[in-house]
């Protein structure tokens, strides 16, 4: 029988996902402000928002990579434990 590689999420993965989702929500808010800018928004302020959005996107990407890295680490541990189990059998 094959190895079941589906992992249930643990507290740390839920925490990482929450941090990512909060970051993603801030990114969406900033994107909306750029898509629908106030008429009062100066060009300089608009360009500052563009810079902030770029930083937010980078931060958001890093947070998703952290989620993926943590998940992959847990998956690697599961596979290693399975191999140990098979070698002992």
How many C-beta atoms surround the C-beta of residue 12 within 10 A? 11
Exposed, middle or buried by CB within 10 Å (0-12, 13-18, 19+), for 9?
A: middle
Residue 12 to residue 3: CA distance in whole angstroms = 23
- Ramachandran assignment for 9, one of left (phi > 0), alpha (psi -120 to 50 degrees), beta (any other): beta
Query: Tens digits of per-residue pLDDT, 5-55?
Result: 567 888 999 999 999 999 999 999 999 999 999 899 999 999 999 999 999
Closest by CA to 60, choosing from 25, 32, 24, is: 24
pLDDT the model gives residue 49: 93
- The model's pTM: 0.74
């Amino acid at each position: 029988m094959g190895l079941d590689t589906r992992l249930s999420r643990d507290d740390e993965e839920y925490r990482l996902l929450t941090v990512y989702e909060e970051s993603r929500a801030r990114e969406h808010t900033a994107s909306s402000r750029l898509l629908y800018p106030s008429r009062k928004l100066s060009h300089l302020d608009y360009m500052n928002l563009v810079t902030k959005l770029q930083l937010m996107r980078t931060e958001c990407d890093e947070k998703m990579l952290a989620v993926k890295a943590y998940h992959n680490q847990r998956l690697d541990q599961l596979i290693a434990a399975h191999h140990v189990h098979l070698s002992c059998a």
